[in-house]
Structure 1
Amino acid sequence: MRVIVTGGGTGGHIYPAMAIAKALQERLNDIRILYVGTRSGMEAKLAPENGLEFLGISGQGMPRQLSTEILKAAGTNVRALWETKKILKEFSPDLVVGTGGYVSGPVVLTAAFFGIPTVLHEQNAFPGKTNKILARMAKRILLTFPESEKYLGVKDKLQVVGLPVREEIGKIDRRAGAKAFGLDPSKKTILVTGGSRGALSINQALTGLLPKLAEYPDIQLIWATGTATHDTILQELETRNIDWQREQWRILAYAEHMPEALACSDLCICRAGASTLAEISAAGKAGILIPYPYAAENHQEYNARAFENKGAACVILDKELNAEILWDNVQKVLLNSFKLEEMAARAKEAFAPGALDRIINLCLQTAWR
């Protein structure tokens, strides 16, 4: 069996594609998988590093405003169609799986044109424009959020499957998680992260919140500031005479042991990318979500609202975020044990476990052989 997977631009598209590829390899002995992405995208580095065969094509996102760049992008994407046609002819796949990002466009479109079975996986509550366009051509569309159904208009092809997460998420007990950070498993713990590089607005709000949090020595903190702003944050804390090296606080550039951090936390303060929310759900944690305001089509707010509507999280818009509003929400959730437990339970129910197995089963059902 031969399968092409494609998805790029951001980790939110790339990591699900790689998870699907590796799970197919584990499920079948006689399989060859090819990852097709852009030559200059993150996937060109990440796919080979994860042991996947990779081929690069041209590709460029279409500008949102009229300009000469539109003509340039259109020419690049037409070239990508011809490059994809050559790859399909030489590789002869039984299935093409797209996880979004503009590189999925030419690959899935060309495969569908030649009658090759195609599967799309949409990670967000508000579908990306590439998947919206491809939805009518794909043979099957797999969704993370049921809320995205109404935007695609092809109900007979849709199936809600969830989103794959790292296998260890939700399987590490609280005591082991706390031990990894030298914390007390019996105390309530806040986990704050804005991604690997950090989120400036979240970091600024938390800096202002720390003096209030210092009044509660029984509340622990794991704060991953992000590598880009870590030194600046520490300098700011020093300037404000905030003792950040407290026994109950862990202020890190990057949380290398995120499964353990989730295991020992009670409340997560974070952005609202689909992968982040899937991990919060798998771990069963209450959340205060601050959607990234510049995400494509504002999809992070749609994701966050979906969790909020389920009673799994509170939402603070980035433009409204400050230390006072954040602290008010922390108090309302963390200091109310009933609300904290209820939100954690709702988060656990937001996505059913076993997403990857469901995705692989449906991929195999869709393929030619």
Structure 2
Amino acid sequence: MVNIVLAGGGTAGHTSPLIATADAIRERVPDANLVVIGTAKGLETRVIPAAGLRLELIPPVPLPRKLSPELAKVPFRVVGAVRAAKQVLTDARADVLVGFGGYVSLPAYLAARQLKIPVVVHEQNSVPGLANKVAGKFAAEVCTAFPDTELPRSEFIGLPLRPAIAGLDRAAEHDRACRVFELNPTMPVLLVSGGSQGARSINNAVVDAFPKLLAEGIQVLHVLGQKNFTNETVEVTDAETGAVYRPVAYVDAMEDAYAAADLMLGRSGAGTVVETAVVGLPSVLVPLPHGNGEQARNAESLVQAGGARLLADSACTGAWLTAEIPRMINDKDKLAAMSQAGRELMPNDAAGVLADRVLALAGGGGHTR
């Protein structure tokens, strides 16, 4: 029996690659014993059980992003969490710990080190988090989602993705996907999404711009985010062109939205950058202007490769969109080149690669690469 513990939580940025990796492990070793360490404060309490994985909770340990007085409190907070993580690892008889960062990972990493259990780290952002920086110093394997992530001894493998996205053929699925959203498959589609919570500046710019985009014959599939979708949010059809503005609160199957679209406007969270590159969807990326700059860094490699265009949040206006989006979306040769650049930059098999590394350390086989 192969016993593997996975740690990661808080946001979908940590849980989604964790679940994709767990699925790849189960595909290779169906009877593998998988346990996930999380906290009660994160998204994992919902999505991990829904994925058919066993979840064990430990106390949360918030980690400051930068050196600050708060950092001095971390060791005291960590002690109880490490003790709880050691209990989970011991009860699971863990052969390997796989960590994806976030608050829950540091105690798990430290517990595994004390128990002499091999650690595999996956960092999904270009700017590594504190937990993965610490674990990177002693981990058996350190893998990254971006080629420019600065972690010692790390290897770029890409981001573990669901098979529906990793294997998406946008051209083959385009007409079907357009029907899902009641869009005309013969007209260009701009997909707009600011992530699961939406993005106010992007949403406002699109609301200003969409009447002119519709008049140009460009359809808009606008994922607003649940909190931004109100009773006043209505779809609009241009009487002259027949182009539709289709607002939705949330999309469960983003592969359908990617397949329907010709171009995407969105934030540059790690998941969005990697997924659009892997499926070959050209994008205009608008990094979140706050935080530690990780979203701007996430976008860099794809922009430099020619698969995306960078747009500052302050420049994301209705006027910019009405001037530039029609030029981009109607230039089929340029879109094809951007699509190819994205696919060439980002591997689509990271979940399998990571699963194989983990199973090799656990002595459970996997596919040699």
TM over 0.5, yes or no? yes
- Give CA deviations for 1:142-167 in whole Å, capped at 9, x if unaligned: 1111111xx2122xxx2221112222
Matches within 5 A, 1:272-351: 272-295=268-291, 297-351=292-346
1:72 offset after TM fit, Å? 5.3
Q: Secondary structure at the match of 1:228?
A: helix
| C-alpha contact (below 8 Å) 2:193/2:224 kept by paired residues | yes
Counterpart CA distance in 2 for 1:327 and 1:303 is: 26
Alpha carbons of structure 1 residues 225 and 117: separation in structure 2 relative to 1, 3 Å: same
What is the identity, as a one-letter code, of the residue corresponding to 1:212? K
Alpha carbons of structure 1 residues 329 and 306: separation in structure 2 relative to 1, 3 Å: farther
Q: Which moved more, 1:78-87 or 1:6-15?
A: 78-87
| C-alpha contact (below 8 Å) 1:288/1:329 kept by paired residues | no
2:215 maps to 1:220: no
Counterpart CA distance in 1 for 2:26 and 2:92 is: 17
1:82 offset after TM fit, Å? 1.5
Counterpart CA distance in 2 for 1:200 and 1:143 is: 30
| C-alpha contact (below 8 Å) 1:140/1:366 kept by paired residues | no
Q: Which moved more, 1:354-363 or 1:163-172?
A: 163-172
Segments of 5+ residues of structure 1 without an aligned counterpart are 238-242
Matches within 5 A, 1:242-257: 244-246=236-238, 247-249=242-244, 250-257=246-253
Q: Which moved more, 1:133-142 or 1:22-31?
A: 22-31
2:259 maps to 1:258: no
Matches within 5 A, 1:234-249: 234=233, 244-246=236-238, 247-249=242-244
Counterpart CA distance in 1 for 2:231 and 2:317 is: 18
Matches within 5 A, 1:47-126: 47-63=48-64, 66=68, 73-126=74-127
What is the identity, as a one-letter code, of the residue corresponding to 1:224? V
| C-alpha contact (below 8 Å) 1:125/1:306 kept by paired residues | no
Segments of 5+ residues of structure 2 without an aligned counterpart are 365-369
1:70 offset after TM fit, Å? 5.3
Matches within 5 A, 1:177-192: 177-192=177-192
Alpha carbons of structure 1 residues 88 and 165: separation in structure 2 relative to 1, 3 Å: closer
- Give CA deviations for 1:24-43 in whole Å, capped at 9, x if unaligned: 12221332111001122221
2:18 maps to 1:7: no
- Give CA deviations for 1:137-189 in whole Å, capped at 9, x if unaligned: 111011111111xx2122xxx22211122222223521111221222222211
Counterpart CA distance in 1 for 2:321 and 2:103 is: 35
1:301 offset after TM fit, Å? 0.8
1:74 offset after TM fit, Å? 3.9
Q: Secondary structure at the match of 2:190?
A: strand
Counterpart CA distance in 2 for 1:209 and 1:126 is: 33
| C-alpha contact (below 8 Å) 1:203/1:233 kept by paired residues | no
1:50 offset after TM fit, Å? 1.8
TM-score (norm 1): 0.89
CA RMSD of aligned residues (A): 2.1
Alpha carbons of structure 1 residues 19 and 300: separation in structure 2 relative to 1, 3 Å: same
| C-alpha contact (below 8 Å) 1:117/1:368 kept by paired residues | no
- Give CA deviations for 1:37-70 in whole Å, capped at 9, x if unaligned: 1122221222122211111111221345756x65
Count the aligned residue pairs.
354
What is aligned with 2:202?
202
| C-alpha contact (below 8 Å) 1:109/1:137 kept by paired residues | no
